[in-house]
Amino acid sequence: MKRRILMGTAIALGLGLTSMSAIAEPPPLEQKDRYKVGFAQTESNNPWRIAQTKSFEETAETCGWDLIATDATGSAAKQVADVDSMIAQGIDVLFLPPREEKPLIPAVMKAQAAGIPTFLVDRSVDQNVAQAGNQYVSFLGSDFIDQGRRVAEWVTENFDGDKGIIVELEGTTGSSPARDRKSGFDDNIVKDDRFEIVASQTGDFARDMGRQVMETLLQAHPDVNIVYAHNDEMAIGAIQALELAGRKPGEDVLVVSIDGTRDALQAIIDGKMGVTVESSPFFGPLACEVMQKYAAGEEIPAWVKVEDRIFTAENAADHIDEAY
Ligand code: AHR
């Protein structure tokens, strides 16, 4: 069956042509009733990751998957080893959220060499080395740059002070969401000269580290009045640190972030957080649909984009029951 992969972005196409030897098609996928599917999770220390794994587990029952799901416990090296083990167990297809962009390239390459089509879910790998339609089939996920841009736009429209002193809590260093959520926010917030980012430091997408980093940054920048966290877990950790220091999130400091977890929606309802731009973890049904289309020989875009909503005081209560 002839398969055509749409190179959805000019960047992917351009990079794919820089090295002729690097151009290859991802392995095909046979059409059958049941598939042995690998899902190599990055870590399970936050509600987003737990919801994502659950989505794959639930989809396994409806999509005819014998699912092998692993947990890399926050280690890129373990995630690579987990993929090695899945290849040895004879998976038909791999769904991979690469914890970091560069260290997970070997996993993508090894799956390709073993004839296993890979779909990147939610995070991407270094586009200088591997591209959709070449080493892997497609990237399924959100536009992280746009998420950061939407937070910046909301802050610009809703901050009512004269001077916004911003502390930024970054996600996992070397991961695609941390890089893109930073550029999306930073490039747009500076368009309004009321705002200044006085510190930007990683909290590794984790609540506890977000709290610890916020505690430290508060001492260096006691005048902070805006906290932008790259995910809700770090935002909740920051709120804890602010309250411990006698600050009043929602009154004297505006906290904004990305994801849409239950705790973040509750913090918005409680008036402690301003906004969270959604980043959906529910990839299972989309993964099933795209995989079946690929097996049927249909064209798969280089980027299957997930559209995200925005949660504020206006709608948080309407959505908290469906949150995770
Ligand atoms: O890659 C998406 C990010 O990873 C989510 O925002 C975060 O909560 C998760 O750990």
Q: Which of 8-12, 56-60, 264-268, 271-275 has the lowest mean pLDDT?
A: 8-12
For the purposes of burial, counting CB atoms within 10 Å of the CB of 86, is it exposed (0-12), middle (13-18) or buried (19 or more)?
Answer: buried
**Cα of 205 to ligand 1 centre, how many Å?**
7
C-beta 205 within 6 A of ligand 1: yes
Ligand 1, pocket-test mutation among 140, 202, 279, 280, most atoms within 8 A of CB: 279
Nearest to 205 by CA among 177, 182, 245, 165: 177
Closest Cα to atom 6 of ligand 1: 231
For residue 94, what is the enclosing H or E element? strand 93-96
Mean pLDDT (whole number) for 162-175? 98
Instruction: Kindly report the average pLDDT of the chain as a whole number.
Output: 93
**Cα of 48 to ligand 1 centre, how many Å?**
6
% of the chain beyond a pLDDT of 90: 92
How far is it, in rounded angstroms, from Cα 267 to Cα 255? 10
Mean pLDDT (whole number) for 63-74? 98
Answer yes or no: is pLDDT of 15 > 50. no
Closest ligand 1 atom to 261 CA: 8
Q: How many CB atoms lie within 10 A of CB 256?
A: 24
pLDDT band, very low/low/confident/very high, at 119 (cuts 50, 70, 90): very high
Mean pLDDT (whole number) for 15-40? 76
pLDDT of residue 24: 79
pLDDT band, very low/low/confident/very high, at 10 (cuts 50, 70, 90): very low
Mean pLDDT (whole number) for 179-187? 98
Mean pLDDT (whole number) for 79-94? 98
CB 236 within 8 A of CB 230: no
pLDDT band, very low/low/confident/very high, at 18 (cuts 50, 70, 90): very low
